[in-house]
Amino acid sequence: MSSLTFSVFSGWICAVAFLLFASSSVSALQCFQGQQNSTLPVSGSVTQCPLGSMSCTKSVEPALKIATRGCQQTNCSLNGIISSEGVCQNSTSYPYATYCCCYGDGCNSATRFFSSFTQLLSVTFFVTVALCIHQLNFVN
């Protein structure tokens, strides 16, 4: 395969990979939403969040046994620092509760948040971008 053919072929691969990633990230985030008894498994199904939502949330008030789930327009943060992974923190004042935030469709169903699919998708995207940039530098 000549270098010109290889560069055109790899350019197409980069373009297709970028379009696939872009189209997968265009759809709105879906989270569990609503309030229920925190001792019961999550009920219902994921619901589409408002456009622009970036993360799913869950708060649990143990004394009242209430779990509240929803969508959030901001990234997850811990002590004011934005986190690329889901996080949980306990409130230090009344009402005592655990507040959790996570990334990825339906990630707020469980007690602990870890969206391995979201992390895998992010790594795949950044590796694809790095390979495309490397290929562009190689061709030029």
pLDDT in tens, 74-130: 999 998 999 999 999 999 888 899 999 999 999 999 754 444 444 555 555 655 766
Where are the alpha helices (H) located in the chain, listed in sequence order? 3-26, 116-139
CATH for 3-139 (3.20.20.120, 2.40.50.140, 2.10.60.10, 1.10.132.20): 2.10.60.10
Instruction: Return the residue matching tokens 């469709």.
Output: 105
Residue type, 4: L
β-partners of residue 59 are: 68, 99
Question: What does the alpha-carbon distance between residue 25 and residue 27 come to, in Å, rounded to a whole number?
Answer: 6
Q: What is the mean pLDDT of the chain?
A: 78
pLDDT band at 135 (very low <50, low <70, confident <90, very high): confident
Handedness of CA 107, 90, 66, 53 (dihedral sign): negative
Report the pLDDT averaged over residues 5-9: 50
Predicted TM-score (pTM) of the model is 0.61
Every domain of the chain and the residues it spans: 3-139
Q: Is 34 left (phi over 0), alpha (psi -120 to 50) or beta?
A: left
Report the pLDDT averaged over residues 31-46: 94
11: pLDDT strictly greater than 80: no
